[in-house]
Amino acid sequence: MDQKHRWSFWEQNTWLENTDVCVIGSGIVGLSTAYRLKKARPELKVLVIEKGVLPEGASTRNAGFACFGSLGEVLADLGRMPVEQVLRLISRRWEGLRMLRELIGDDAMQYEGLGGFELFTASQEAEYIQCLELMEWLNPEVEKITGWSKPYRIADEKRSDFGFKGISHLIWNAAEGQIHTGKMMDTLHRKCTSAGIRILSSVSVSGWDDHKQGVSLHTSLPAKLKARKVVVATNGFARQLFPQLDVQPARAQVLVTSPLESNPVRGCFHYDQGYYYFRDLGKRILLGGARNLDPQGETTYSQDLTESIQHKLEELLRTVIIPDMDYTVEMRWAGTMGIGNVKEPILEMVGEHILCAVRMGGMGVAIGSLVGKDAAARILEQLSDTIIHSE
């Protein structure tokens, strides 16, 4: 007898055969897509495949800002996108957050709508003035979307509350919120498994064959997995399977301090067009960013940390955020985002049976569940004329 791997009848019948939809990637988009599919059509056999033991991209490695954008970020967006597109993005972020809160529940993901501040130094006076001009126009537009009256406001009087050094101005965003990213993803994962979705971790997809009736996926398992439809939710890694897509990997690095005796930071904070962001994690501070120091070097699949960016983050802590405090840096990590020339997700068919739902940029917490819902709707349209193997 040859000694190749043999699946049991049970393994084949339960996990490997008759998959209606296979979702590649168990980040927020992949799991949201799978969940929406199963909720809409419980008879569908939905399988999620994930290359890591835990998700290895961004969904369990981010900062947990439930945000629709600081003024500095919106200003930067207006410099490269038409006004209508910028407003549509704000609206989608808001709608996505509403959907995430409804799906997961505020308590389950420790959602806190504490608001947020954007910091400006004296050397950023020109940008601050531009932000004030933008605020006049943007507040009524955002009010139409969110119902919040004057969400952005000048908050210079708050400067002394935080003890920041060298900060000339603060702008408040009332609609900013923060979540416990781990609890959000854990709840989503459990919702998926309770709904009957199977999730196979530590299995990576390396290619596929198109067939008339569906797709055969080449995986690290000793078997090809067949599915009628496939959703690619691999975000920053999308080009490893589909090199034609406009998605670049973008490494993002963060650090977390030791617990502070008293933490002046409460809420979400942005600095330098959103290139730096920090928040409280109980008595600790989580700080991330500085990708703009080395955009080329940070265009990488590697999740190694770099000396220059970690040093810059530490410097910002020491010189601006908590200049007079004793602490150490206790944790550091990096995640992989997916960005492109256009700051919008890609939701498009890349084969007769393969849908891509990728390129969430730095806003996947906000839009991920909405993109998952849209992806599921596209697949459901396509399955409407297909015979489904009932579970």
Asked if residue 69 binds ligand FAD (CB under 6 A), the reply is: no
Find residue 270's DSSP bridge partners: 118, 277
Query: In 3D, which of 319, 336, 335, 318 has the Cα closest to residue 327?
Result: 318
Asked if residue 227 binds ligand FAD (CB under 6 A), the reply is: no
Asked if residue 52 binds ligand FAD (CB under 6 A), the reply is: yes
Torsion angle (degrees, nearest 10) of CA 65, 112, 107, 147: -90
Query: In 3D, which of 29, 194, 151 has the Cα closest to residue 96?
Result: 29
3-state secondary structure 154-192: ECHHHHHHHCCCCEEEEEEECCCEECCHHHHHHHHHHHH
Cα dist from 179 to 16, 119, 267, whole Å: 35, 21, 10
Asked if residue 64 binds ligand FAD (CB under 6 A), the reply is: yes
Burial of 247 (0-12, 13-18, 19+ CB in 10 A): buried
Asked if residue 28 binds ligand FAD (CB under 6 A), the reply is: yes
Q: Under rule CB under 6 A, which residues in 254-293 are in contact with ligand FAD?
A: 254, 288
Closer of 122 and 349 to ligand FAD (Cβ): 349
Closer of 52 and 163 to ligand FAD (Cβ): 52
Binding mask 147-186 for ligand FAD (x = CB under 6 A): ----------------------------------------
Closer of 171 and 188 to ligand FAD (Cβ): 188
Which residue's C-beta sits nearest to ligand FAD?
A: 57
Only segment of 21-29, 104-112, 158-166, 194-202 that touches ligand FAD (CB under 6 A): 21-29
Closer of 116 and 214 to ligand FAD (Cβ): 116
- Under a CB-based contact definition with an 8 Å cutoff, are residues 230 and 215 in contact? yes
- Which pairs from 259-267 meet CB under 8 Å and 24+ separation? 259/283, 259/284, 260/284, 260/285, 260/322, 260/325, 260/327, 261/325, 261/326, 264/161, 264/162, 264/163, 264/322, 265/162, 265/321, 265/322, 266/114, 267/114, 267/115, 267/116, 267/117, 267/176, 267/178
Q: Under rule CB under 6 A, which residues in 345-364 are in contact with ligand FAD?
A: 360, 362-364
Closer of 133 and 209 to ligand FAD (Cβ): 209
The one among 21, 22, 23, 27 contacting ligand FAD by CB under 6 A: 27
- DSSP letter string, 372-388: HHHHHHHHHHHHTTSPP
DSSP letter, residue 116: E
Asked if residue 376 binds ligand FAD (CB under 6 A), the reply is: no
Find residue 358's DSSP bridge partners: 346
The one among 110, 168, 187, 204 contacting ligand FAD by CB under 6 A: 204
Helix, strand, or coil (residue 248): strand
Binding mask 78-107 for ligand FAD (x = CB under 6 A): ------------------------------
Asked if residue 46 binds ligand FAD (CB under 6 A), the reply is: no
Element (H, E) at 339: strand 329-339
Binding mask 308-347 for ligand FAD (x = CB under 6 A): ---------------------------x-x----------
Element (H, E) at 22: strand 19-24
Asked if residue 249 binds ligand FAD (CB under 6 A), the reply is: no
Asked if residue 235 binds ligand FAD (CB under 6 A), the reply is: yes
The one among 35, 65, 162, 172 contacting ligand FAD by CB under 6 A: 65
The CB-of-364 to ligand FAD minimum distance in angstroms stands at 2
Site size with ligand FAD, rule: CB under 6 A: 43
Residues that bind ligand FAD (CB under 6 A): 24-30, 49-52, 55-59, 61-65, 67, 204-205, 233-237, 240-241, 252, 254, 288, 335, 337, 360, 362-366, 368
